[in-house]
Amino acid sequence: MRNPVFKLGLRFATTDLFRKAIRNYSIMNMRMIKFKCNYRERVRAVCVGNFNRVCFASAVNGSEWVQVKKLVDVHDCGIVDHNFHANSTWLAQRYATQLSRLHNWDMGTFKQQVQKDLSVIASKSQIYRARQKATSITEGTYEKQYELLWDYAAELRRTNMGNTVIIKCHHFGQLLSAVGVDPNNNMYPIAYAVAEVENYETWSWFCQLLAKDLGIENNTGYVFITHKQKRLD
């Protein structure tokens, strides 16, 4: 779908997917393509430079699936660097992950990256709106993932009898973890928690739960090393 190749007989699950493929093709190949017939059961896409260049798809036996039934994919028209399909919504969806990871992407850097990747010259307003929409996409994704934490905790309790799973605060803070080392010097996770801050109280709370789960009654038989330091605590 990022750079589709069409052929006769190619099927799409819905007309929406077919339209999305056409838009991606238009942007990636720098061709100005419009929809002349745009219905639920049939879609016709034509090249603005030459209306004889066409891709037509319609429903298969009355189902939601659509199939490419006519295709003329030889272009003799010029390429374009301003494509209305590459709007702020499309750019936001395309670059949402990169924008969330690369915080040093300012407006100018983002604009240059779009031009480098797609040979598309986007306006400043498009870039600004794309950044705003990309933020909404990633933040919405994070929120939906956090909403599933309670289901995840319930599944852990169901499938791992005896595990301690507690959710009692907002999910921002410090990650506390305990790992073990086997005789082959391989490390494996034992427990982890997200606490408001890393201090004596939160580590005490974490270690108390760890001791309870591991059944530690005589702590003189255990050695704890913090942050893999040489000194013992």
Per-residue pLDDT at 233: 46
Per-residue pLDDT at 10: 92
* DSSP bridge partners of 58: 42, 67
Q: Is the pTM of this model over 0.95?
A: no
Per-residue pLDDT at 12: 93
Instruction: Classify the C-alpha dihedral 134-139-140-144 as positive or negative.
Output: positive
- Got the DSSP string for 61-100? TTSS-EEEEEE-----SPP-S--TTS-HHHHHHHHHHHHH
Cα gap 224→81, rounded to integer Å: 61
Per-residue pLDDT at 231: 47
Listed by start position, the domains of the chain span 11-71, 88-146, 161-228
Show the low-confidence residues of the chain (pLDDT under 70). Answer: 50-52, 75-76, 103-104, 141-143, 169-170, 172, 219-233
